[in-house]
Structure 1
Amino acid sequence: MTLYKPKDRLLLGGTILLGGLSSLLAAFVSIFLQRVIDVAVAGEIREFYRVLGGMAAFLLAFGVISFSEALLGKILLRNVTRYLRDRVFKGVMKQDPKEYTAQNTADYLSALVNDVKLVEDNYLVPLLLCFQMAVLFLATLGILLYLSPLVTFILLLFLVLLFAVPALMGKKLQERQDAYSAQLSSFTAAAKDFLNGYEVIRGYSALHCILGRFHKVNKDTADKKFAADRLMAVNESFSDIFSSLTVIVIVFVAAWQMMQGKVSMGTLLALIQLSGTFVTPVVILMQNIPKIQGIKPVMEHLAELMDISRNEGEDSSRQEYEMQGLQEAIRCTDLTFSYADDQKVLENEDFLFEAGKKYAVVGQSGCGKSTLIKLLTGYFRDFQGQIEIDGHSLKEMPQEEINRRIAVIHQNVFLFDTDIRDNICLGRQYSDEEIHKALMESGMEDFLAGMEGGIDSKVGENGQLLSGGQRQRIAVARALIRRTPVLILDEGTSAIDRETAFEIEKRLLERRELTVITITHHMDERLEGEYDGILRLGV
């Protein structure tokens, strides 16, 4: 799985290079330490000041390189997390409806928030750190060999024991990390469900029951994390014991060599300092390698969500459909659709919606009216029969081309937590004249006049600051401003008072160039004569 954009390769290379150089310089601190002690013991004042000056210059360069590496690392982490979230979100949004609805939206939220954070904390940061520690280890090993081959040999014996532990625990830790990631997704789903059900919980005095359910899922999540942390604690405690034992052994061995006259006082102190420098990267490697191994399932899950290859050819045939308006008709032939194999919602239905004409589709709940909308708008494409727009098969048309021709005013309106203008325009640029016309045709001007911010007023989460009628008027304006040749009203004015709904619908029916398909349970008798055809489903 690619973690960064191609242009970030230079940033990654710079971070790795500076990290390695910083680790290399850290290892050479011991050489300065040895030199200072030996010069001090020999009483060479002039040489002492020369070493001191060299140490000051060394520390300055070390500081600059360390800061640069840290800064580049933070920039890289920022870019990677942003890139991962962008790709995951794009992959999720480009799924077809059946794939999208097969998972709880909380799973997607968990991937965007929890899984990306896990990749940062348990893969990217440890990976960069492991590279630095590997360089520090190799540099320290070289210096140790130069100062004392015996000490180096003893340290390598301890090293063999040290790396046996993560090798034994890696698979088990990966399983527990996978279980924790899955449980995080379940926790997010449950918490989202409970928060969305606030009104029901409050209205039916269900708080005690919901608190019990939350307590259980919260406990399960904490327990899954603890199971992984517990195994990590074993690894870390073994590392700490090994670290302390190594330093003690090296102190005694180096001290014995000094008493034998084989090493100087400066070399003794340098060896003691290097024993810590040698152990530290090994301990860090031992602690982080299991993390890197354990994050594999999480990264595979993110890679699955990022997989948008099935959509990359979506626009390949766009030129074939470049045309304006609806020229002829939308024709449905032998249309059959079922959500389950043994439950057909529509069966062998034929419909003809001619350009510029007005149609009403009437029927009781469950007869397939909403399903027909989803089929006409390309939401579901695994139907039997044919749907053709101006002779082109809807199954082969890019979704963008369908959206250019058909707009839907839904009964259940979703509004983003921004302002009214943004919820109408949805990121597109429209002139003041176009916006004003959409406001007029949707009947929004009356309620906007009473709002302090006008069209720039905030709507709240899913429009909670507005009434149901106000939300539906925004939905009408959202559809009208796009000037699509076909407009579908799915009970689109049900939350508006009857007279206002009548006026809006009548205006739409009077527009000669517009093809209107109204989905309704009950028609306003005053408008029956305005329709060119009334289709009854479930009869």
Structure 2
Amino acid sequence: MNLYDKRGRLLIVFTLLLGGISAVLSAFISIILQKVIDSAARNDMDSFSKLILATLIYLAILGTMGFLEAYCGKLMIKNVTKALRDKVFLGVMKRSPREFSSQNTADYLSALINDVKLVEENHLIPLLLCTQMGVLFLTTLGILLYLSPLVTAVLFLFLMLMFMLPALLGKKIQKKQDAYSEKLAEFTAKSKDFFNGFEVIRGYSMRPYILKKFTRINRDTADRKMAADTLLAVNECFSDILSAVSVLVIVFVSSYLMMKGRITAGTLLALIQLSGTFVTPVVMLMQNIPKITGIRPVLKHLEAYSHTQEDVPDEEEPSCGPALLKAGITCTDVTFGYVPEQNVLQDISLTIAPGTKCALLGESGGGKTTLIKLLTGYYDDFAGDIRYDGIPIGKLSQDKLNRMAAVIHQNIFLFDTDIYNNICLGETFSKEQLDDAVKASGISRFLPGLEKGLHTAVGENGQNLSGGQRQRIAVARALIRSTPLLIMDEGTSAIDRQTAHEIEEDLLRQENLTVLTITHHMDETLMDCYDRIYYLKDGRISCTQMGV
């Protein structure tokens, strides 16, 4: 998966360059130590004084480069994780309804939160560290060869041993990381399900049962993480042991060389310091390379979310002018099934003329909601023909369909903001348009009782409002956009009969509005207000009745 755009690649190159410079400067502290000790041993005060000034300048440069490298690294991580979340979110939102519903929404949340965090911790941060440590290793190697080829040869022997372990554990760590990511997604899904079912859990005394289930999935998730961390711990443990042994060996070898008069005391101190500088990068590389390779399955998951099968371009901006329904909507011999050879709808034919009020009656499971999904472009793999003003529905963009038809579902979703934003949904309307929609939808009836009026917070999914109030907000959403077709998909079944009657009656009075009411139980007092009533049974329209 490509994590970096053009600008991001420039930033990471600059960050890695700064990290490399910081690493080189860090390695050269050994040379300063050598010069200081040798000057002191020779009692060379002039050279010693110059070294103090050089050291101060060196520390200032080292601190500046270190800060710039750390700042750019944080900026790079912020930009990459932000862009990654944007890609995943956009990819999910561009999915077709069928593709979107094929996975639990908790999987999407887990990808946005958990998987992106894993990429940050196990790819971005290790990548910066590995680059910096690689430069530090090469710089240290050059200085070691300059000071003592023999000591360098001894260190290389331990280096070969230290690099064998990651090669043996790399694939196992990758499998463990992938298993942990999958279990983490399952944990998120289960937790979300339990929180959503709070009322049922409380009402049916399910708490002990749910606690057992949560404890089990929580334990399994922790165990998966522990399994991955255990392998990493083994890798780190052996790295630390070999690191300590190599430093001790270098101390003895360098001390022996000094006693033989082959190196100075300053060189001895420099070699001891360099042995740690030499081994530390190797240890860091051993610990972080398996993390980078182990994150590949997670990156594949994120790439799958970022790119849909269709990967369609962004939809066109909504038109400023209202859509019009001139010739109406026609369905001709429409047949559809969610699975092969199991049709939910069979040879459906109907006509909805502009400005008419139609009702579609039928028992639950008869295919009413499925027909609405076809009319609003959810699915395109149906047999037969659906046309808006004579244009096949397949040739209409989703934006055009959204401006032609609005659906009010049984369960209204409201964003956790105020009433105004839940009506306008990010668009700008004139005060006259807003006032008309508020009045026509019936919101004006309860608005005076709210202290902040249209700017009253609705709470999570409208929990601060009654069912009827939420329903009226949904109606206002459609009316303010002058949507020519309004579909009520069991839109009033979840509220009291009086409020449902008022909402339905208000809509039927809209002269230029085409209304299609989907219900399994019709308000008999309003039947005469409908121009045509369709009856749907077992996926077929059995008969039609003209309103009286």
**Cross-structure match for 2:88:** 88
**1:433-448 alignment, distance < 5 Å:** 433-448=432-447
1:384 deviates by: 1.4
**1:98-113 alignment, distance < 5 Å:** 98-113=98-113
**Cross-structure match for 2:33:** 33
Gaps of 5+ in 1: none
Tell me how far apart the structure 1 counterparts of residues 311 and 382 of structure 2 sit (CA, whole Å). 19
CA contact (8 A) 1:435 1:481 kept: yes
Tell me how far apart the structure 2 counterparts of residues 340 and 10 of structure 1 sit (CA, whole Å). 49
Tell me how far apart the structure 2 counterparts of residues 499 and 198 of structure 1 sit (CA, whole Å). 29
**Cross-structure match for 1:17:** 17
1:385 deviates by: 1.2
TM-score normalised by length of structure 2: 0.95
**Cross-structure match for 2:391:** 392
Tell me how far apart the structure 2 counterparts of residues 496 and 209 of structure 1 sit (CA, whole Å). 32
Which region of structure 1 is more displaced relative to structure 2, 367-376 or 385-394? 385-394
Letter in 1 for 2:240: D
**1:97-496 alignment, distance < 5 Å:** 97-308=97-308, 310-313=310-313, 324-496=323-495
Tell me how far apart the structure 2 counterparts of residues 489 and 242 of structure 1 sit (CA, whole Å). 72
1:493 deviates by: 2.9
1:134 deviates by: 0.3
String of CA shifts for 1:311-338, please: whole Å, max 9, x gaps.
325759999xx99411212111111111
Tell me how far apart the structure 1 counterparts of residues 444 and 390 of structure 2 sit (CA, whole Å). 39
String of CA shifts for 1:202-246, please: whole Å, max 9, x gaps.
111111111110111001000000000111111000011011001
What is the alpha-carbon root mean square deviation over aligned residues? 1.8
String of CA shifts for 1:463-513, please: whole Å, max 9, x gaps.
111111111111111121111111111122334544444343333223332
**Does 2:473 match 1:504?**
no
CA contact (8 A) 2:367 2:536 kept: yes
CA contact (8 A) 1:314 1:398 kept: no
Q: Alpha carbons of 1:414 and 1:318: their partners in 2 closer, same or farther (altered >3 Å)? A: closer
Letter in 1 for 2:86: D
For residue 446 of structure 2, give the secondary structure of its aligned residue in structure 1.
helix
CA contact (8 A) 2:316 2:399 kept: no
Tell me how far apart the structure 2 counterparts of residues 461 and 478 of structure 1 sit (CA, whole Å). 18
CA contact (8 A) 1:133 1:284 kept: yes
**Does 2:50 match 1:60?**
no
Tell me how far apart the structure 2 counterparts of residues 153 and 519 of structure 1 sit (CA, whole Å). 83
For residue 412 of structure 1, give the secondary structure of its aligned residue in structure 2.
coil
String of CA shifts for 1:266-293, please: whole Å, max 9, x gaps.
0000000000000000000000000011
- How many residue pairs are counted as aligned between the two chains? 537
Tell me how far apart the structure 1 counterparts of residues 309 and 335 of structure 2 sit (CA, whole Å). 29
Which region of structure 1 is more displaced relative to structure 2, 281-290 or 347-356? 347-356
Which region of structure 1 is more displaced relative to structure 2, 323-332 or 219-228? 323-332
For residue 352 of structure 1, give the secondary structure of its aligned residue in structure 2.
strand
String of CA shifts for 1:70-126, please: whole Å, max 9, x gaps.
011111111111111111011011111111111111111110000000000000110
1:517 deviates by: 0.9
Tell me how far apart the structure 2 counterparts of residues 454 and 330 of structure 1 sit (CA, whole Å). 38
Which region of structure 1 is more displaced relative to structure 2, 65-74 or 485-494? 485-494
For residue 339 of structure 1, give the secondary structure of its aligned residue in structure 2.
coil
Letter in 2 for 1:164: M
Tell me how far apart the structure 2 counterparts of residues 318 and 187 of structure 1 sit (CA, whole Å). 39
Q: Kindly, what percent of the aligned residue pairs are identical?
A: 58
Tell me how far apart the structure 2 counterparts of residues 146 and 246 of structure 1 sit (CA, whole Å). 19
1:262 deviates by: 0.9
1:247 deviates by: 0.4
**Cross-structure match for 1:534:** 533
**Cross-structure match for 1:47:** 47
CA contact (8 A) 2:441 2:506 kept: no
**Cross-structure match for 2:518:** 519
TM-score normalised by length of structure 1: 0.97
Tell me how far apart the structure 2 counterparts of residues 404 and 313 of structure 1 sit (CA, whole Å). 19
For residue 99 of structure 2, give the secondary structure of its aligned residue in structure 1.
helix
Tell me how far apart the structure 2 counterparts of residues 317 and 196 of structure 1 sit (CA, whole Å). 34
CA contact (8 A) 1:332 1:386 kept: yes
Tell me how far apart the structure 2 counterparts of residues 455 and 323 of structure 1 sit (CA, whole Å). 24
For residue 310 of structure 1, give the secondary structure of its aligned residue in structure 2.
coil
Tell me how far apart the structure 1 counterparts of residues 186 and 293 of structure 2 sit (CA, whole Å). 23
For residue 182 of structure 1, give the secondary structure of its aligned residue in structure 2.
helix
CA contact (8 A) 1:4 1:79 kept: no
Which region of structure 1 is more displaced relative to structure 2, 339-348 or 404-413? 339-348
For residue 401 of structure 1, give the secondary structure of its aligned residue in structure 2.
helix
Tell me how far apart the structure 1 counterparts of residues 314 and 536 of structure 2 sit (CA, whole Å). 33
For residue 345 of structure 2, give the secondary structure of its aligned residue in structure 1.
strand
**Cross-structure match for 2:545:** none
CA contact (8 A) 1:20 1:132 kept: yes
For residue 388 of structure 1, give the secondary structure of its aligned residue in structure 2.
strand
CA contact (8 A) 2:322 2:403 kept: no
Letter in 2 for 1:292: I
Tell me how far apart the structure 2 counterparts of residues 300 and 496 of structure 1 sit (CA, whole Å). 45
Tell me how far apart the structure 1 counterparts of residues 68 and 317 of structure 2 sit (CA, whole Å). 48
**Cross-structure match for 2:546:** none
1:346 deviates by: 0.7
CA contact (8 A) 1:443 1:500 kept: no
1:418 deviates by: 1.3
Tell me how far apart the structure 1 counterparts of residues 263 and 391 of structure 2 sit (CA, whole Å). 88
String of CA shifts for 1:36-80, please: whole Å, max 9, x gaps.
110011111111010110010010011011001101111111111
CA contact (8 A) 2:162 2:239 kept: yes
1:129 deviates by: 0.8
